[in-house]
Amino acid sequence: MLGVMDSFQATIDADGRIEPRDAMPEGYRKTLIRQIAQHAHSEIIGMQPEGNWISRAPSLRRKAILMAKVQDEAGHGLYLYAAAETLGVDRADLLDLLHAGKQKYSSIFNYPTLTWADIGAIGWLVDGAAIVNQVPLCRCSYGPYARAMVRVCKEESFHQRQGFEILHTLCNGTPAQKEMAQDALNRWWWPSLMMFGPPDASSTHSEQSMAWGIKRHSNDELRQRFVDMTVPQADVLGIRVPDDELTYDEATGRYSFTQPDFAELYEVVKGNGPCNQERLAHRVKAHEDGAWVREAAAAYAEKQAKKMQGSAA
C-alpha cells in the first residue's frame, strides 16, 4: 500500500497540483506559508512608496490610474493571505509576525520614491521584475497559490505598462523630464536586480523549493531574463541602464551585466535599508487605525450568525 507521502511525491513527479486537503510534508507546508506570507506582505507594504504620490500625481488621469494600481496591490495581498489560510494559518497571525519583524517583505519597498519618475520606474522595473518572478509561479505545485498568481500576473502586466507609459511620456518631454527619468532608472536599476534574491551559489531555500515544484527557475536565471527583457525597453525610452559592463552577446541573444551589490541586499533585508523603519511603523499604525473596522465586521458577522440561528430554530 502507498503511504500518504508517496502520493504527495507521485503528484509532484507527475507535475500535478497539491490541494489543501492533500497530505503534504511539514516542510512543504512551512515553506509555502513563509513564501506566500512574505509575498502577501510585499503586496501591501508595496502600496506605500506609490501611495505617497497619489496626492501629487501630475494630472487627474494619472491620479486615477495610480489609485487603481495601488488598489490592485491591496487586492493581491488579499488573494495571497487567503491562499496562505488554506494551509491552516490565520492572516491575523501572519500580520502580527510582519509587525513584529519576524516575517519579511520584499527589500525593494525599503527605497524612497523621490520624484514622479520613480512611480514610472517602479511600474516598469519593480512590477516588471515581479512578473518575471511570478509567471512561473502560475505553475507552482500548490494549487491555491498557482491560481492566485494567474490573476495577479494579468494585473501586474497592466502595472508594468502604466509605469513604462509614464517614463515614455517623460522621455519625450523636456530635457529636464528626460533627466528625471534617467535619474529614476539609475536609482532603481540595482535594487530591481536584487529582487531576484541572492546568487544561486548562496541561495539557501532554492534547491528544496525546486524539487517540490514551488520554484521553477533559479534566481540567476530569472535575473538574466529580466535584464534581457528590460534593456531593449530602455533603448526604446532612450535612457541608459547604469551599467558600463552591459554587453549583448549575439550568439546567445543574452546580455552580460554587472551583478548588484548583494552586501547592500543583505543589509536591507536585515532592516537597515533607507525606509525599513518608516514602512513598518506606517503599516503598524494603519493596522491599529483599522481596528474599529475589524471589530465592526466581527460584530456584524456575529449578529448575522445569530439571526440565521434564530430563523433556523
Kindly list the residues in this chain that would bind Fe ion in the complex (CB under 5 A): 43, 73, 76, 127, 156, 159
**122 vs 192: CA distance, rounded Å:** 9
C-alpha–C-alpha distance, residues 294 and 297, integer Å: 5
Q: Which is nearer to Fe ion, 159 or 215 (by Cβ)?
A: 159
Least Å distance, CB 142 to Fe ion, is 18
- Give the nearer residue to Fe ion in terms of CB position, either 154 or 270: 154
Which residue from 167, 166, 159, 103 is spatially nearest to 129, judged by alpha carbons? Answer: 159
Q: All 3 cell numbers of residue 235?
A: 533603448
Q: Which CB, 118 or 156, lies closer to Fe ion?
A: 156
Q: Which is nearer to Fe ion, 39 or 223 (CB)?
A: 39
Alpha-carbon distance 135 to 122, whole Å?
18
Distance CA 255, CA 227 (A): 7
Q: Give the nearest distance from C-beta 269 to Fe ion in angstroms.
A: 20
Residue that the C-alpha cell 533607507 belongs to: 274
For Fe ion, give the closer residue by CB, 76 or 168. Answer: 76
Which CB atom, from 54 or from 246, has the smaller least distance to Fe ion?
A: 54
Nearer to Fe ion, 76 or 187 (CB): 76
State the minimum distance, in angstroms, from the CB of residue 127 to Fe ion. 4
Sign, CA dihedral 178-181-185-186, equals: positive
Q: Which is nearer to Fe ion, 148 or 265 (CB)?
A: 148
Q: Which residue has the cell 497559490?
A: 145
The smaller minimum CB distance to Fe ion, of residues 138 and 246, is found at 138
Cell numbers standing for residue 152: 495577479
CB of 84 to Fe ion, least distance (A): 15
Amino acid (1-letter code) at residue 255: Y
Q: Which has the closest alpha carbon to 181: 163, 160, 195?
A: 163
- Minimal distance, residue 72 CB to Fe ion, in Å: 6
Query: Residue 299 contacts by C-beta under 8 Å, 6 or more apart in sequence?
Result: none
108 to each of 47, 167, 210, 235, 250, how far by Cα in Å? 12, 19, 24, 24, 31
Q: Which of 186, 174, 175, 303 is nearest to 234 (CA)?
A: 186
- Cβ atoms of 184 and 167 within 8 Å: the answer is yes
To Fe ion, the closest distance from the beta carbon of 256 in angstroms equals 28
- Rounded to a whole number, what is the distance in angstroms from the first to the last CA of the chain? 47
CB of 106 to Fe ion, least distance (A): 10
In angstroms, give the least distance from the CB of 113 to Fe ion. Answer: 14
Give least dist CB 91 to Fe ion, A.
Answer: 17
Pairwise CA distance, residues 139 & 146, whole Å:
6
